[in-house]
Amino acid sequence: MPGFLRPLTRAVTYTRGLHLLIGSGVAWVFAAVYPGLSSPSYTEGLLVLADPIPFLVLAGMVPAMRRAEGLQARMMLFPGPHARVEGDGADPGVSVAPSASWRERARTAAWLVLRVEAGCAVVLLTGQFMGIVFAAMGAIDQPEDSDGLLLPVVHGWATVPVVVLAVLAQLAMFVVAGHLLARAARRLLGPSPAERLAVLEERTEQLLERNRIARELHDSIGHALTVAVVQAGAARAAADPEFTDRALEAVEETGRAALEDLERVLRVLREDGRPASGRPTLTDAERLLASARASGAKVDVEVTGPVERVPGPVSREGYRMLQEALTNVLRHSGPVPVRLRIAVDDARLVMNVRNVLPPESTGVTGRGGSGLRGIRERATLLGGRATTGPHEDEWQVHVELPLK
């Protein structure tokens, strides 16, 4: 089928035409009251177009009118399941929210006036095209000076071409007028800058939340799996029943904590309304140290300052950073001595984790993954900073977070 005829096969072409015809109904209702629809003069015909304008402007001031018109425009002016064309389900760029400002009310009023006037123009042109068809076919026997047609009627050999051209012109008018009306709807009923900003903020929040959940799962499940792998390897190498029992106990405790974290994250994703258990904070860091010690690491801890007074967001993120730091120690260096220093004062939290590098380590192998990058990202989001890398003969994770 030729490309210029393809719009005629799309349902949206005809729903747009119907939308225009429905909009003109307001003008005909007013015209039935005044000046009447019985042989109006040209002056009275102009009144038909002008009568509804004040009422349309008043209607546009009602906030809910914008939502009603937006829903109609989405259903009838844009491709959807009814249109059988590419683009089904795409955002048409038309708002369905009530007017939130006088500017939006004015745009809604302009849309209502445009819709009614455009609908009237389509109805009048449709009457002319159909009148030409009927007159050419002999279905109208009125004299030319009273038939209301603007063009003379052609008979004889030219009847068929005139009829075909009139029908094609009618269809072309529906296609063009519907396309222009859809563009006008995007401009007049499209989301305001405030609405666009709200949508952008919502999407940003969703992305941040997904990123946070991904980090939570990486840190918690990654830590549990690392502990389980290290413990299993150590138990197999030791071949000591007592050590194996301790290793299995550590794996069980770490796995149980990971399951609790996983259940809490899944509850957030399901949004089922049930209260999720609180996220662990630095006051719960002892279970991380116990897991590391059970895996064979010798952890030397020094804490200065009131850790329990660290603000919740900082304390929770600090816990995850410590968890990732210990996980990296076990994953890349094994059960080596670890020094942990936590200092809290009125202005900041300082956390420093150091471990001895194995003799075969280069200091950088395996240290560029997403875990350490996550530590730096967490610190940046909290307005602090984190550095990771070799320091002398040790690997260091140094974190500074502001408390105010």
- The pLDDT tens digits of the residues spanning 75-101 come to 888 876 544 444 445 667 888 888 888
The pLDDT of residue 50: 84
Alpha carbon distance 230, 30 (integer Å): 84
Q: Is the per-residue pLDDT at 229 higher than 90?
A: no
310 vs 196, residue with greater confidence: 310
SS3 351: strand
Structure tokens at 343: 């200092």
Alpha carbon distance 260, 153 (integer Å): 84
The band of 290, judged by pLDDT with boundaries at 50, 70 and 90, is confident
The pLDDT of residue 297: 80
The pLDDT of residue 276: 42
The pLDDT of residue 6: 77
pLDDT average, residue stretch 161-170: 82
pLDDT average, residue stretch 307-317: 87
The pLDDT of residue 26: 86
pLDDT average, residue stretch 51-70: 92
The pLDDT of residue 2: 62
Q: What is the CA radius of gyration of the chain?
A: 37
- On whether the CB atoms of residues 326 and 223 are closer than 8 A, the answer is yes
The band of 278, judged by pLDDT with boundaries at 50, 70 and 90, is low
